Amino acid sequence: MSGHSKWSSIKHKKGAADVKRGKLFSKLSRAIIVAAREGGGDPDGNLALQNAVEKARSYSMPKDNIERAIAKGAGAGEGGQAFETVVYEGYGSGGVAIIAEALTENRNRTAADVRHTFAKYGGNLGTDGSVAWMFERRGVVLVPAEGVDEDTLMLAAAEGGADDVAGDGSIFEVTSAPEALREVRQAIEDAGFAIESAELTMLPKTTVELTEESAARTLVKLVEALEELDDVQEVYANFDIPEAILEAVAS
């Protein structure tokens, strides 16, 4: 498994810690509200909502919180109407491609915040479409590897509709088409496996290797700073950092 895939596990653990501050739940709720507003409150007929709920579950967001967010977006409560989706594309250290997806009610504020963050950490914003072609949207389920038989996991994942299973000794990454994410997660859970996270993401078609710690550190700081912005929901990048360096800079 690449260093890029390892980052998914590191990011999820950081996100789990962020739950204590309530900030992550706020972002997860916003995503659910907007998805329900745009496609209706039934996850079975709304893929975006289905995936927003799956991600919220991955971070142990209480069921009541999820249901309130769905109700708010579907019109049973106030809020959710002002948000719009904005996607920013740019580059970081070493020419690493970065996509930042935001939900905002103030496009000018968000654009200024994102532009400032890119500049602060040696990156620069690009034009629409400048890096999006380097990524493809996929469903990804992470399964802790301890005590897991890979063949059994692969069979369960395949029955759910997964395309691939890859591991690095500590985590298995199960990938699927976006519309199969919920079924894949359910099949893995039904087979008795623990799940660390399940979410829709943008996987890079090719990666840029960063082997110098200074460049890797600057890049990770940029990614983390973008993720800290209140309006930014997701950040995707096509870096591949060796595990030893990634663990050092991410700590």
Q: Which of 81, 83, 78 is nearest to 101 (CA)?
A: 83
Architecture per CATH, domain 135-204, reads as 2-Layer Sandwich (3.30)
How many CB atoms within 10 Å of residue 138?
Answer: 18
> Taking the model in full, what pTM does it have?
0.86
Fold of 3-74: Arc Repressor Mutant, subunit A (1.10.10)
- Superfamily name with CATH number, domain 84-133+206-250: YebC, transcriptional regulation domain (3.30.70.980)
Q: In the chain, where does the domain assigned CATH 3.30.70.980 lie?
A: 84-133+206-250, 135-204
Which residues, 6 or more positions from 226, have their beta carbon under 8 angstroms from its beta carbon? 98, 100, 114, 117, 118, 232, 235
Query: With 60 as the cut, is the pLDDT of residue 78 above it?
Result: no
pLDDT at site 171? 87
DSSP β-bridge partners for residue 77: none
Mean pLDDT of 242-247: 86
Dist CA 229 CA 96 (whole Å)? 20
User: Averaged over 146-154, what is the pLDDT?
Assistant: 93
pLDDT at 9 > cutoff 90: no
Q: What is the pLDDT of residue 169?
A: 78
Q: Each residue of 36-75: pLDDT tens digit?
A: 988 899 988 888 898 899 889 888 899 999 999 999 888 8
